[in-house]
Structure 1
Amino acid sequence: MHSRQRQIPFDVEHCSPIALRNILLDPCTPADMLERIAHVYYDDDHIARDLIRCPNLTEATLVFLALTSSDEIKHFITSTRVVDVVMEEDAAAAAAEAAKEHKPKKKLNMSQIVNKMTPSQKIKLAQTGAKDARTLLIRESSKIIALAVIANPKLTVGEVEFFAKSTSLNEDVLRKIGSNAEWCRKPSVASALVNNPKTPVGISLGFVSRMTERDLALLERNRNIPEAVRASARSLVIKKKMGKG
């Protein structure tokens, strides 16, 4: 019975508000539990504020909160916890070193921030992050992370077109873009997919008939795309010429 009672606070998703606040007010709460709480309650400003005050909160978790929480929490982090996000080993040693050398703390760029994140943090950032984060995470080798970017509600058509042109993305990302009817109504997105040699043939072929006569002629001569796509373009060029004749 005693063992079960000790395990209750660790179920952060079902904690009562009072129990959760007690965990956050305890200076001995371990960093891994604070990280779990951050991932569940990042959109709760009250809990986020308490998290930011926790002495054991790691830099990676603080960065996660800074990137996924509300603007109010971002401002709270900047004004109360840190001014810049810095690489940290031991806080006291870092402070002593800074005082001795009088050097300003260096900001981490987005690439450095992402490199410090765990896969689960990257997925959450991909789903909720801003454009600079999406541009980096779409190129992750992990298909799950890259596809999470495509599910981000902030994604713009301009970004989708840029992704559709990229030959360095996972084929599953291009397939996902090609299966989105709303995006592919845009001629620029459909054209980008058809001209991308990495786009799965089954996706590309579905857009060939929507290309203009000029685009079809270019596709026919494009040796970088699959032969099946070129052949389809060639067939349509011939049909159009016969129709004119």
Structure 2
Amino acid sequence: MNREDKSEKVQIKLPAEVAKIMSKWGGHSVRLAAARGALPMSGSNLVMVLFVFYNGENPELKEEALSTLQTLPAKIILAALSLPELHPAIIDLIVHLRFEDEAVMQAVLVHPMTGIRSLLFIAENSSGQVLDMLADNDKILRKSDILRKAIINNPNTEKVTRLRLGWVEPQEKADPPEEKEIEAAADDSDQDQAVAGAENEDKLDDESLSKYQQLQEMSVNEKIKMALTGDKEWRTLLIREANKQINTAVLRNPRITEAEAIAVALNRSSSEELIRIILLNRDWVKLYDMKKALVYHPRTPVQQAMRLMSFLSERDIKELATSRNVTQPIINNARRMLSTKKR
């Protein structure tokens, strides 16, 4: 990872625990242990210590701090991001090191101190679910048109997302028609052919419109029909429609894939009706990734989420027990399950 050296001084108010480690207390061995994440301290303080070491002059501490930040469990990073006053420079370092971590980036995108520089890095370098989260966040995109353009120019951005953000698909230039010598005035038959040719050109123009442009002209009934029969590009567009008759029709499309259904469950903004339809599909619910996504989704009924938790691995249950993205009943149930296993 190459970061541009800004050579700007960052002033951060250090908690007493962090300031103590930064001092000569304990000597180099104590600071080295802290850089390796081996000292007992809160997650937020540890991230702050690592940030200071990373920006310090000691190359050994800098290298150890960088390695630790790259491998820290997400829950420790999230503990730091839970501080509303966390300095933007710390957030920026987290973004550069963990921009592919979905849970961490979700916290970054809602943090009040996240700066434009960090958002721009995410827009230019992320992919998959992280990129989708940013592209779907209208509140952030309104901050600067540069962000929208960066997402459009990101090679990982799907075509439908580019279109939604205002990208216009370049049209292929048609070959110039061959010039023909007209020897006589056109008769009625020639005029009929000219009219027919014009109509055909209109049809070609309609077909050349992007799907996103066509969508703006479609009626509700046309959208429902397309949701039931359209290809993946159409399904990706129509699942975002606010009208539940349209977006639920996408899930009834016989061509929809398991991966698309899981993506709907992973999207925290998916409606209660979409989640209900997924829960009724036994083939989808059999999938492990689907079970996990449904447990995390805020619109999955609590009792059904708890039932699905019994199929999750111990590692995932441990994550749920400390997660900030699920309700308290889910957290309590995860802790109860872990407690039962220890007996």
How high is the TM-score relative to the length of structure 1?
Answer: 0.55
Percent identical pairs in the alignment equals 35
CA contact (8 A) 1:160 1:177 kept: yes
Segments of 4+ moved more than 6 angstroms: none
1:169 deviates by 1.4
Q: Which residue of 2 aligns with 1:179?
A: 280
Q: Does 1:210 align with 2:311?
A: yes
Q: Secondary structure at the match of 2:204?
A: coil
Q: Which residue of 2 aligns with 1:193?
A: 294
1:199 deviates by 2.7
CA contact (8 A) 1:175 1:203 kept: no
Q: What are the equivalent positions in structure 2 for 1:63-74 lying under 5 Å apart? A: none
Residues in 2 aligned to 1:202 and 1:224: alpha-carbon distance in whole angstroms: 17
Cα distance per residue 1:194-219 (max 9 Å; x no partner): 12223332332221111100000001
Q: Which residue of 2 aligns with 1:226?
A: 327
Instruction: State the structure with more CA Rg.
Output: 2
Q: Summarize the Cα distance change of 1:116–1:152 in structure 2 as closer, same or farther, 3 Å threshold.
A: same
Q: How many residues align?
A: 144
Segments of 5+ residues of structure 2 without an aligned counterpart are 1-199
After superposition, the CA RMSD in angstroms is 1.8
Q: Summarize the Cα distance change of 1:162–1:235 in structure 2 as closer, same or farther, 3 Å threshold.
A: same
Cα distance per residue 1:99-122 (max 9 Å; x no partner): xxxxxxxx4222221121111111
- What is the aligned counterpart of 2:203 among 77, 82, 90? 82
Structure showing greater relative contact order (alpha-carbon pairs closer than 8 Å, 6 or more residues apart): 1
Q: Summarize the Cα distance change of 1:203–1:84 in structure 2 as closer, same or farther, 3 Å threshold.
A: farther
Segments of 5+ residues of structure 1 without an aligned counterpart are 1-78, 87-106
CA contact (8 A) 1:171 1:200 kept: no
Q: What are the equivalent positions in structure 2 for 1:8-157 lying under 5 Å apart? A: 82-85=203-206, 107-157=208-258
1:80 deviates by 8.2
Return the letter of the residue paired with 1:164. Answer: A
